[in-house]
Structure 1
Amino acid sequence: MIAPARIRIFVDFWNFSLSLRREDDAFMLDWKPVAGVMVAEASQLLGAPVIYEAMHVYGSYDPAKPADGKFRNWFTTWLDKLPGVHTVMLERQKKRNHITCPQCHGEVKDCPHCHADLRGTEEKGIDTRMATDLVSLAWSNAYDVAIIVSSDRDFVPVADFLQSKGIKVIHAAFPPAGSQLSQRCWGNFNVINLMDKFRR
């Protein structure tokens, strides 16, 4: 008798959330059924029973924004406590470059009114951490099937590597975004078609 395939889900939080909001700007996500819905889709694709091992969710926050403090608290104390969910939260970093004028290409460093730094923040290290966990957990034989929830084509080499080692990679996709990743994965399913199953 063949043992059920062990599944781990790897979620880029902001890519996932913003992709859903692009489809419906009033969409409110209920995280409780997310893993179950995705595991059921993967099981259908595989045509075999599966075991849910864990869902890893990767996010970032801006420590300078009070609202992000509340988000970080929710992420690390509520989301992280759902069954099988593991979260990674990283600080967003100041952008290296300042705003440039589209005419003269000169840099504008400070607000002419309040003199605040005009550089925004950017996510740094999320993709790297997610890719590292995909590979390290595969190396330690912690799963047979990975579901990648992101439209980022940076995961194409990771998907190629894992599949060369016999691990199936399924893309939880938001078409037409991420088509390169979908093409390189063993299989894919359309998350947009599942939105009502985890609508709050």
Structure 2
Amino acid sequence: MTTLAPPPSLHRVRIFVDFWNFTLSMNAKKPKFQPDWTKIGRLLAAKAAEQVDPSTGHSFEAMHVYGSFDPASPADLKLRQWLEGWLDKQPGVHVSSVPRQKKKSPPKCPSCHAETATCSACGSDMRGTEEKGVDTRIVTDMMSHAWADGYKVALLISADRDFIPIAEELQKRGIKVIHGQFGSTGMDLSKKCWGRIDLAALMPQFER
């Protein structure tokens, strides 16, 4: 009697995207680049799985997109509507968007280092805004889905070296973290990941 070998297990891929890092990196490579978000998840899941083993199939578990917006900006409010009203409704896509916050400290003069809270010409607040909470949400989701056995391969799209600890911890637990990078950006993070894919080279495949 011949015993059949069990079929190889699928590479279950989950994608975590820092929206602004991804968007600004694409525009740096090609100004006004228009991505087709309906293609990105499945395409990048396949490319991440190929890094692990191109001979084994994969499943696209989900793509989590993390963005921020300025509540005082009309353009950013339109972006929020697109993120939450369209992108979040695409198959397998989950969006987390958070409001940016006013910086506590105003800019300083590069010569005398005096702080300038308001514009001398129009009196506007010069503090600007900053992103708060996005990195924390990414790390929390990577951990919670991993502990729930929600994936075995993570594709992390960000150049932030602050993600090095979570990449190292997940890999200790047998989860392979693939870094989605643009050229040589984010090399510190790439060195700590199991593998990497060059997103810039893939841009023609998901251009709208």
TM range (shorter): over 0.9
**1:139 equivalent among 142, 147, 150:** 147
Report the alpha carbon displacement of residue 137 of structure 1 after superposing the two structures with TM.
Answer: 0.8
* Distance in 1 between residues matched to 2:46 and 2:147, nearest whole Å: 25
Unaligned runs of 5+ in 2: 1-5
What's the counterpart of residue 94 of structure 1? 102
What's the counterpart of residue 18 of structure 2? 12
Q: How does 1:158-197 map to 2 (within 5 A)?
A: 158-197=166-205
* Distance in 2 between residues matched to 1:6 and 1:66, nearest whole Å: 39
1:116-163 Cα distance to aligned partner (Å, 9 max, x none): 111110111101110111011111111111000111111111100000
Q: How does 1:1-200 map to 2 (within 5 A)?
A: 1=6, 2-47=8-53, 48-200=56-208
RMSD: 0.9
Identity of matched residues, %: 49
TM-score of the superposed pair, with normalisation by structure 1: 0.97
Report the alpha carbon displacement of residue 103 of structure 1 after superposing the two structures with TM.
Answer: 1.3
Q: Give the paired residue count.
A: 200
* Amino acid across the alignment from 2:42: G
Report the alpha carbon displacement of residue 9 of structure 1 after superposing the two structures with TM.
Answer: 0.2
* Distance in 1 between residues matched to 2:188 and 2:38, nearest whole Å: 29
* Distance in 1 between residues matched to 2:28 and 2:45, nearest whole Å: 24
* Distance in 2 between residues matched to 1:179 and 1:113, nearest whole Å: 42
* Distance in 2 between residues matched to 1:22 and 1:43, nearest whole Å: 26
Report the alpha carbon displacement of residue 94 of structure 1 after superposing the two structures with TM.
Answer: 0.7
Unaligned runs of 5+ in 1: none
For the residue of structure 2 that corresponds to 1:67, the secondary structure is: helix
TM-score of the superposed pair, with normalisation by structure 2: 0.94
* Amino acid across the alignment from 1:65: S
Report the alpha carbon displacement of residue 198 of structure 1 after superposing the two structures with TM.
Answer: 0.8
Report the alpha carbon displacement of residue 3 of structure 1 after superposing the two structures with TM.
Answer: 2.0
For the residue of structure 1 that corresponds to 2:97, the secondary structure is: strand
For the residue of structure 2 that corresponds to 1:22, the secondary structure is: helix
* Distance in 2 between residues matched to 1:116 and 1:164, nearest whole Å: 50
For the residue of structure 2 that corresponds to 1:177, the secondary structure is: coil
Report the alpha carbon displacement of residue 26 of structure 1 after superposing the two structures with TM.
Answer: 2.5
Report the alpha carbon displacement of residue 102 of structure 1 after superposing the two structures with TM.
Answer: 1.1
1:4-26 Cα distance to aligned partner (Å, 9 max, x none): 12110000000001001111113
